[in-house]
Structure 1
């Protein structure tokens, strides 16, 4: 069948070019090879399609009718190739992205300039902290934080997300402000967990550069970053949160950063795509936009957090204590 389709394309090219020689040049082959393809096509069809002479060719009545279908087939193939080139070279079509709830606020601003600049492109953001069937949802690109699950998809690291330790002023007024590793073990903890497995030890690096492993049992947990932040703001305990996510809450005094000078491990940010040799332009451009958005966020927020957190927890707790009758 494929050989016959190829021979039909040769016939359409011969008629389009007006001669076997010109068709051979267009197809980057020899005149003899073109002639052999035409003879094979006539043998398959059981009818003469072309009258040939040394100077010109002409279609038989059967050839005139048959070549219309061949030309339509060739035109459809060229249009399909053109559309594929557009998808490869210029962002267009719907881009379907999967991301956790906590990262949605960053993905929108990161991709808005790309979508705005390309009118033929649209965006669908599938936000879910749980397991998402990427194939069933027809996802082009998935954003993931931290340790990646086993998958046949291709992962690329595009940046990192810093995390800090936060608590509500009311909680600190009630339980005290932690200043050491020993203090942390006596506090209530809130954890982000997607399963019921045992919590893993948390590596913390102190001001002296020494790393210690902290083992805690969460008082409460959630698989949703926003819910975890709400539990923390409600005064239920300490939580590891991203500075990008708590800027507003910290600015309004609902959350306070703890342990200035201590550092927690950053969360790597990956984008995952189906295993393909070549990605369409919409995916390639989206990956670069996300890389730009996440590559600089870790360092900037880490520096700002360290500069502004010293003493803020203690002073805020004093203010809360003074307001309690």
Structure 2
């Protein structure tokens, strides 16, 4: 790195025509500039400049070395400019990890105006209910549901999801009537395996009661839509986000089990890796998602 610094000083001396002029630009003293040039010549074991009392001229080797130094400085300035553009403008690829249940219009409605406003921005979406390592997979931001315990991430709460117990009418016809939480001990459970709810389920009653029910799943999936499909097929009871199954409830494909009893609401969060400065594409996306999801 010291050699690169000396190359930059050397290129500035050549471009400015003197040690004094270069020193003014670099915020150094002329003697410090001269010392860096000497160290550069010592390390390369080549004379780069002819020094006289009136002016500096390049040696043959110095002329060739200046061309290489100037190219290195130009590449460095270009890289710095690109970083500044990414910091200040929404450009490049935005990588977002999202639960499968968010694959409907909510996400596209939030991101479409962002993409239309920033033509240099592209989006790659990763739909999965399992939590992935944001840093390892180079994920810029994620939408997550439930408690956030990873201190290496920044989590912004944007709302809550209400999960309800539901089943298909065909399944309910095969079961005794479910009127109390303890009746749930005898049902067939269909579980989302990523939620770690294989042992107990906390339910809140209509009058503030609390019941903890031990459960064991016959079918466990790492994908909420797969759990929903098993539920629609009449295979058992599952927990589903109310806002995602409004059509199924309205059409009678699913029925709410034990109305009035439900899980405590689960927080919805926008999560990003902890960084000192977020690129503009991430800042714009966080605001677009936050604004849209809060409004719905």
Query: Aligned-pair distance for 1:71?
Result: 0.8
Which protein has the bigger strand share?
A: 2
Render the CA deviation track for 1:292-311: whole Å, top value 9, x for unaligned.
Answer: 344455xxxxxxxxxxxxxx
Aligned-residue CA RMSD (Å): 3.0
Distance 1:177 1:103, change over 3 A: farther
| Matching residue of 1:313 | none
Which segment drifts farther, 213-222 or 33-42?
213-222
Determine the structure 2 residue equivalent to 1:89: 88
Q: 1:222 to 1:45 in 2, by over 3 A?
A: closer
- Find the aligned partners of 1:236 and 1:289 in 2 and give their Cα distance: 39
Secondary structure of the 1:66 match is helix
In 2 relative to 1, CA 249–125 (structure 1 residues): closer, same or farther, beyond 3 Å? Answer: same
Contact kept? 1:152, 1:274, Cα under 8 Å: no
Counterpart position of 1:181: 181
Deviation at 1:54, TM superposition (A): 5.0
CA contact (8 A) 1:192 1:222 kept: yes
In structure 2, what is the Cα distance between the partners aligned to 1:182 and 1:296?
37
Give the secondary structure class of the aligned counterpart of 2:238: strand
CA contact (8 A) 2:148 2:155 kept: no
Residue 198 to residue 125, structure 1, CA distance change in 2 (3 Å): closer
Superposition deviation, residue 266 in structure 1:
2.1
Corresponding residue number in structure 1 for 2:110? 110
Partner of 2:246: 247
Matches of residues 14-25 of structure 1 in structure 2 within 5 Å?
14-25=13-24
Tell me: CA distance 1:129–1:200, structure 2 relative to 1, closer, same or farther (3 Å).
same
State the alpha-carbon separation in 1 of the partners of residues 185 and 232 from structure 2: 20
Q: Check conservation: 1:95, 1:121, Cα contact below 8 A.
A: yes
- Kindly state the Cα deviation for residue 234 of structure 1 after the two structures are TM-superposed: 2.2
Q: Distance in 1 between matches of 2:41 and 2:83?
A: 32
CA contact (8 A) 2:154 2:274 kept: no
Inter-partner Cα distance in structure 1 for 2:287 and 2:177: 41
2:182 touches 2:213 (CA, 8 Å); kept in 1?
A: no
Deviations 1:193-241 (A, max 9, x none): 249x772322212121222212233343322211111122223333210
Retained in 1: the 8 A contact 2:167–2:257? yes
Q: Does 1:146 align with 2:146?
A: yes
Q: What residue in structure 2 maps to residue 222 of structure 1?
A: 221
- Residue of structure 1 in register with 2:166 after alignment: 166
TM-score (norm 1): 0.77
Measured in 2, the distance between the counterparts of 1:50 and 1:173 equals: 94
Does structure 2 retain, via aligned residues, the 8 Å contact 1:161–1:294? no
Aligned-partner Cα distance in 2 for 1:280–1:194 = 30
Q: Normalising by structure 2, report the TM-score.
A: 0.83
Q: Secondary structure at the match of 2:122?
A: strand
SS in structure 2 of the partner of residue 208 of structure 1: coil
Unaligned 5+ segments in structure 1 are 298-325
1:171–1:47: structure 2 CA closer, same or farther, 3 Å change rule? closer
